[in-house]
Amino acid sequence: MSTKILIIGACGQIGSELTMKLREIYGNDQVVASDIREGKPELMASGPFEIVNAMEFEQVAQAVEKHQIDEVYLMAAMLSATAEKNPAFAWDLNMNSLFHVLNLAKEGKIKKVFWPSSIAVFGPTTPRINTPQYTVMEPSTVYGISKQTGERWCEYYHAKFGVDVRSIRYPGLISWTTPPGGGTTDYAVDIYYKALEDKKYTCFLAENTALPMMYMDDALAATVAIMQAPAEKVKIRSSYNLGGISFTPAEIAAEIKTHIPEFTIDYAPDFRQAIADSWPASIDDTAAQTDWNWKHQYDLKSMTQVMLDNLAISLSK
């Protein structure tokens, strides 16, 4: 029997690429995309779409019922920088959407749930280098607090009600198809656009700010891998660390300069510097490697090549 999937938040930075990836794997008609507003023409044209406000239980429940959904990928969230400007709304969105999906799963209406956490669950007291799976977690951002709380509820619903919910602590994600929205790691996407368009970039983080990062294709591969893993292999039901690469603005700028020698960068740290300073510099993802054979493919060099190659084409259209 083929799997029917609902993606909530399908038009966001991860959701828009995850939708296309899952449609490739499961078939276009098996993957229902949903968001609070319509997405790009390619996404809308490639399979079923529903307008769903992730904060409204009835809208989520109706989409699950109408399409007889087996699996839900809940990708709707307000990210770190924007959440600091809208704490109450960010909490409501990030938490209520999760409760709606977990409760539908508890009622047996959904068989399997994917919910993204983030390295933002770590805080200024967390060991910053090669941050372990289990360690001190005192997040100091609204986004990080919501993700840490969400992890606790995922583990609780699994333990108490047998809900098959699986989660990954994504690092900063870098992609070229959808401009990012409201994240602190977004500089690592903006820089490629500006390098091609203006040959210069003013970075809102200081030059030596190392953060855990990952090319989007690796993040999508990890998402599919954890969801397709046999349940008994998914031993951690809070959320798995996911590593990838770690670099500073100075290092990504130097890599870009090997392609665009005239590229220049300067630095004007803003409120997002304090957020970045509270996060790890690099992540230990041994648990994901051991439990469900995770291994990232892209490093800074190969990611920069693919970003510049694809953006050069998409920006020329």
- Catalytic center residues: 143
- Decide whether 34 or 239 has the Cβ nearer to ligand VAH: 239
Among 185, 223, 239, 304, binds ligand VAH (CB under 6 A): 185
- Decide whether 123 or 183 has the Cβ nearer to ligand VAH: 183
Among 143, 187, 240, 298, binds ligand VAH (CB under 6 A): 143
Q: What character string, x for contact with ligand VAH (CB under 6 A) and - otherwise, covers 234-273?
A: ----------------------------------------
> Does residue 282 interact with ligand VAH by CB under 6 A?
no
Shortest CB 209 distance to ligand VAH, Å: 12
Shortest CB 100 distance to ligand VAH, Å: 21
Q: How many residues bind ligand VAH (CB under 6 A)?
A: 12
Q: Using CB under 6 A, which residues numbered 67 to 106 contact ligand VAH?
A: 79-80
- Decide whether 126 or 184 has the Cβ nearer to ligand VAH: 184
Nearest to 57 by CA among 14, 103, 13: 103
Q: Using CB under 6 A, which residues numbered 145 to 184 contact ligand VAH?
A: 170-172, 183-184
* Centroid of chain to Cα 69: 22
Q: Around Cβ 152, how many Cβ atoms within 10 Å?
A: 11
- Decide whether 46 or 178 has the Cβ nearer to ligand VAH: 178
- Decide whether 52 or 174 has the Cβ nearer to ligand VAH: 174
Structure tokens at 56: 């409204």
> Does residue 119 interact with ligand VAH by CB under 6 A?
yes
> Does residue 204 interact with ligand VAH by CB under 6 A?
no
> Does residue 118 interact with ligand VAH by CB under 6 A?
yes
Q: Please say whether the beta carbons of 167 and 116 come within 8 A.
A: yes
Q: In what order do the strands lie in the sheet with 71-74?
A: 49-51, 31-35, 5-8, 71-74, 112-118, 165-170, 240-241
CA atoms of 284 and 6, how far apart (whole Å): 31
> Does residue 214 interact with ligand VAH by CB under 6 A?
no
In the numeric block, the tokens 């669950």 are attached to 121
| List of long-range contacts for 87-90, beta carbons under 8 Å, 24+ apart | 87/142, 90/142, 90/143, 90/146
* Centroid of chain to Cα 209: 20
- Decide whether 143 or 263 has the Cβ nearer to ligand VAH: 143
Structure tokens at 185: 């790691």
Structure tokens at 123: 């805080």
Q: What residue number has its CB nearest to ligand VAH?
A: 183
Classify strands 71-74 and 245-247 as parallel, antiparallel or unpaired: unpaired
Shortest CB 171 distance to ligand VAH, Å: 6
Question: Which positions ≥6 away from 198 have C-beta within 8 Å?
Answer: none
CA atoms of 142 and 89, how far apart (whole Å): 10
- The contact set with ligand VAH (CB under 6 A) reads 79-80, 118-120, 143, 170-172, 183-185
